[in-house]
Structure 1
């Protein structure tokens, strides 16, 4: 029990140190929109994991770490939270048989943490939290297992900080602004909190007052898309269990010319994700190993025509993220849709006007947890559920919920903006097959340009664009394309570039920061310069004064 108590103290100290530093992590920003959330997401993820274990009794180190890891996964928010949860999942797996918390056991844990974390991302980007956990693992492997535990942990922290300080040299976007990677910083602070207990026996206490949280984080387009996004979960035939190798699958997929390959084998389950030009070829190859539990094929190339607006009128829309009611799952509905939005006004619009069955109000930071998604899936109670995350930072969380859900078949549509979610929702046809809807909703993303306006929170340089604090920024499909001193000048300079002869309609969500004069100027600019329809909606969103979908 002494060793388990030591581990428990290390974990709570790490969680507390991450909490103390999360506002600063949020401020380690590249993208100068004041919605920084890496620290917030990692803090919420860590605290959810700790809440799941703090009042329970555990007999072994492995069982404690496994429970903490499970809590992290269920509470994971945003990309940073999901990757952090996977690092701890790996640590848990590597130390499942640990009894002493000695150097060799920690080496096993860090080695597996690196492996699981890298597997969580389709195309790992160096200069991020992934680099730091990899270099910590590599440093740990070089340490003599006979070394004193205090010396071992000091070397781990030193390796983590060296790796952290080098992240700008590996990622140009960080170097341009002169900051380290925020997720990597959060991981190091968590480990430093653990180290405090190793060195002194003292748990890092939570601060009563934290610094102000402001600033935005970089969003990276990890990989381009082509062909068909093909996924399958296969229940392995008995003769392949514990025998099938990951490389056997990957090597054949490479022969087919596929990209973006993720292959996971977990006991009797084989899960494959790949981008393929011939998905049928991939599925026929995989079928030899067992029976499909689920299959998903999404066309990522074709431009979409709008489908019939749909919605499930039988779904109760009264769900709230704070509910503690456990809903009985009868899967009474055939199909349902879930979307993430950033305000109550948008929630009403998506549900009442676009026919979405349930909209999750993720607030200005758009960061619902895995558990929030699970609750929403329970609420819609459908055999098939389509999820529109509507934010690139929510995609991994939605996919984590997809893995955790056991009753409903989940399709996560890769919508990265509110505008893309709107276009996808309009393309949903409740009478169509799941594959057809999946294809249509994914295709609709290509049919909309996402134009947003926000005031810069700081001086910055992003993608070669110099941004001055308090200037108005035009953001198109997640990238800053220009700035101006006034909204009127910004509309004239940047909005017109996105409106073409093929543009049919603009849907304009008015944010909290947009005054009547600005709205009037936008109307006047559109009326005098373009023969195009537009709809103005009270969006109620923070941070972005205007969110405009151009179709």
Structure 2
């Protein structure tokens, strides 16, 4: 898709699920956040005009941004921001930590300037993050560590930078998505960072992976090689021998409080499109009250990551 399209949509009678279905039909990397008649939407599409025409029939639209991703990539590949001293800095730039081409693509489309390769078991150093900050051509920089084990390195990198740097304490890549979507370029920097932090905290993340050692958990005894489901990088909430079954149980846990209305699935590099569709269908059948969205994250080690909002 050629165009990255973002906008706010206001309307009391908007059906979020039908809007999501429409965006899925006309584009990719679609994201919707918000509720109670106020939404922020993001989609990659070849026809932003049609998207905007469709949504203006549903409600009021504001803060429309359409970026040509082919031209953005050409500028990024040329390294203009980092290499040209004559290029004026923008007001705020972003550094995000992630591993997986799909995750990185979505982060860039949401405004991340530099992606630091890293995540669970592959934490970048303070130096790595400091160098990334220095590559951003901006007066102020926001860092999204996207993992609790990287937050300390991010804070240390911020403290040695020669510019104003804030760290939004994101604990997962989906929290990083929410933070970037919540950024308000018109607000004061501290206020914008506070809003990003609040938006990130509202997102709960589930991760499906393989146990590397025997252990005990609230979900029962765990044997090396079993599939486990973790919530918010803290509690192991599901254990089993099958990725899909554990992912389904994890979805039930995330939805248990009754306030979740959207579950977004991100497929890892070893989880096929067919498996992703099948998993989405199983979750939709088991939890019909949820809207299910799916993307490719291409992350290693975690065949499925999910976010609940």
1:414 aligns with 2:172: no
In structure 1, the residue corresponding to 2:212 is in which secondary structure?
Answer: coil
**Residue number in structure 1 paired with 2:263:** 506
Query: In 2, distance between residues paired with 1:343 and 1:357?
Result: 16
1:367–1:491: structure 2 CA closer, same or farther, 3 Å change rule? closer
Q: Deviations over 1:455-513 (max 9, x none)?
A: 11222235684211221101001121220122333234332121254323222110023
**Conserved in 2, the CA contact under 8 Å of 1:343 and 1:362?**
no
**Residue number in structure 2 paired with 1:113:** none
**Conserved in 2, the CA contact under 8 Å of 1:344 and 1:540?**
yes
Query: In 1, distance between residues paired with 2:132 and 2:157?
Result: 10
**Residue number in structure 2 paired with 1:423:** 178
Structure 2 length-normalised TM: 0.68
Query: Matched residue pairs, number?
Result: 241
**Conserved in 1, the CA contact under 8 Å of 2:204 and 2:232?**
yes
**Residue number in structure 2 paired with 1:443:** 198
Query: In 1, distance between residues paired with 2:202 and 2:173?
Result: 13
**Residue number in structure 2 paired with 1:337:** 94
Query: In 2, distance between residues paired with 1:521 and 1:312?
Result: 33
**Conserved in 2, the CA contact under 8 Å of 1:345 and 1:539?**
yes
Q: Deviations over 1:275-329 (max 9, x none)?
A: xxxxxxxxxxxxxxxxxxxxxxxxxxxxxx9778799978954499xxxx87749
Shift of residue 448, structure 1, vs aligned partner: 0.8
**Conserved in 1, the CA contact under 8 Å of 2:267 and 2:295?**
yes
1:496–1:404: structure 2 CA closer, same or farther, 3 Å change rule? same
Q: Deviations over 1:374-419 (max 9, x none)?
A: 332222211111110001111111111111111x210001111112
Q: Deviations over 1:431-467 (max 9, x none)?
A: 2211111111111122111111001122223568421
1:393 aligns with 2:132: no
* Over 4 Å off, 4+ runs: 305-316, 325-331, 462-465
Q: In proportion to residue count, which structure has more strand?
A: 2
Instruction: Indicate which of 432, 439, 462 corresponds to 2:187.
Output: 432
Instruction: Indicate which of 488, 497, 500 corresponds to 2:244.
Output: 488
**Residue number in structure 2 paired with 1:85:** none
Q: Deviations over 1:207-252 (max 9, x none)?
A: xxxxxxxxxxxxxxxxxxxxxxxxxxxxxxxxxxxxxxxxxxxxxx
**Conserved in 1, the CA contact under 8 Å of 2:280 and 2:294?**
no
Q: Where in structure 2 are the equivalents of 1:248-267 lying within 5 Å?
A: none
Instruction: Indicate which of 540, 548, 551 corresponds to 2:298.
Output: 540
1:369 aligns with 2:125: yes
Query: In 2, distance between residues paired with 1:544 and 1:468?
Result: 17
1:357 aligns with 2:124: no
**Residue number in structure 2 paired with 1:475:** 230
For structure 1, the 5+ residue unaligned runs are 1-304
Shift of residue 423, structure 1, vs aligned partner: 1.4
Shift of residue 532, structure 1, vs aligned partner: 2.4
Q: In proportion to residue count, which structure has more helix?
A: 1
In structure 1, the residue corresponding to 2:186 is in which secondary structure?
Answer: coil
Shift of residue 518, structure 1, vs aligned partner: 3.4
**Residue number in structure 2 paired with 1:205:** none
**Residue number in structure 1 paired with 2:137:** 381
**Residue number in structure 2 paired with 1:549:** 307
Query: In 2, distance between residues paired with 1:360 and 1:317?
Result: 15
1:432–1:308: structure 2 CA closer, same or farther, 3 Å change rule? farther
In structure 2, the residue corresponding to 1:348 is in which secondary structure?
Answer: helix
Structure 1 length-normalised TM: 0.40
For structure 2, the 5+ residue unaligned runs are 1-37, 43-62
